Amino acid sequence: MGKALVSDAPTGTRQRVLVTPTMAREFLDSAAPNRALSRRVINDYARALNADQWHYAGGAFAFDDKGRMIDGQHRCHAIIQSGVPMEVDLITGLSEQAWDVMDRGRRRTLGDALHRRGIHDSAMIGAIITQFWRYERGGLGSKDSPSIETGVRLYYENSHLVEAAKWGRTLNHSRVRAKSGLFGALWLVLRAIDEEDAHTFFDLVMTDPEKGTGPYALQNVLIKESQANTKHSDKWIFATALKAWNHFRNQAIEVQALGFRSGERFPEPL
């Protein structure tokens, strides 16, 4: 019944229907690749249905021009889990690209868009792209994010994101516990200057750097940061890491402590 409602509907139509658990299963069986499921979201929706707190408000299940569901998977799972039908609108005949600009239910992220395209480690890579984009625009520490279209374009333009994700995650799992997305973006910046030095710098920060060097000072900063109740901003951390890199590249200069003052010019990597 569910599939027939979609396949028989004229392209671009919107119709109000009561979606039963059986229909929800049919929609999921024919769904297009989508974002990763959030069990928390499904449970929240199912609880609302069971408590009779979900009311029709014009929310839609969307289907592309091939009849595949491109929006509604969390609500379908909630209908099945609760056993309670949900009244929604069905929209048919949308272009496949419409998924990227939809914002119904849980907000879509760049990681969701990359996951849908079959990109491994999509959440991490999405975080790295976002931080790298902020750095390039001088906006580290802000909440601004690239559009999904821009983020996907940046993914295909940068062939080193998988390695950046590896370095970001490795640093986070070392004793310094740095933010993976932020330091994956840092690795991209440093790799563009000197890839071998970038590898050496990250290795030293994670292991046993010599006292008085940039990696030693950064390691101390990150260990203290991981233990502090009040955290510094991403901008402060990134600027401090760039200072450590510059000391590492200019080995004649000994450093004991690092920091970044308000109003100070953001450092340029050497």
Query: What is the DSSP track for 190-216?
Result: HHHH-HHHHHHHHHHHHS-PPTTSHHH
Q: Are 128 and 165 in contact (CB under 8 A)?
A: yes
Instruction: Check residue 97 and give its pLDDT.
Output: 58
pLDDT band at 156 (very low <50, low <70, confident <90, very high): confident
Residue 10 pLDDT grade (very low, low, confident, very high; cuts 50, 70, 90): low
Instruction: Find the DSSP H helices in the chain.
Output: 2-7, 21-29, 39-50, 73-82, 110-116, 122-136, 148-157, 161-172, 180-193, 195-206, 214-227, 234-249
pLDDT band at 53 (very low <50, low <70, confident <90, very high): confident
Q: How confident is the model at residue 105 (pLDDT cuts 50, 70, 90)?
A: very low
Average pLDDT, the chain: 82
- Hey, which of 19-23, 108-112, 150-154 has the most confident mean pLDDT? 19-23
| Across 45-59, 105-119, 245-259, least confident range | 105-119
Q: Is 106 left (phi over 0), alpha (psi -120 to 50) or beta?
A: beta
Tell me: pLDDT of 8 over 50: yes
More confident residue, 170 or 84: 84
The half-sphere exposure of 35 on its side-chain side, counting CA atoms within 13 A, is 25
Q: How far apart are CA 83 and CA 180, in angstroms?
A: 40
Q: Per-residue pLDDT averaged across 55-70, rounded?
A: 78
**Higher-scoring residue by pLDDT: 218, 71:** 218
Examine the pLDDT at 66 and tell me if it is beyond 60. yes
163-221, pLDDT tens digit by residue? Answer: 999 888 887 766 677 888 999 999 999 999 999 999 999 999 888 888 889 989 998 88
Residue 87's DSSP bridge partners are 18
Contact 121, 110 (CB under 8 A): no
**Nearest-angstrom CA–CA distance, 130 and 112:** 13
Going along the chain from its start, the domains and CATH numbers come out as 2-96+103-107 (3.90.1530), 111-249 (no CATH)
Q: Give the pLDDT score at 242.
A: 94
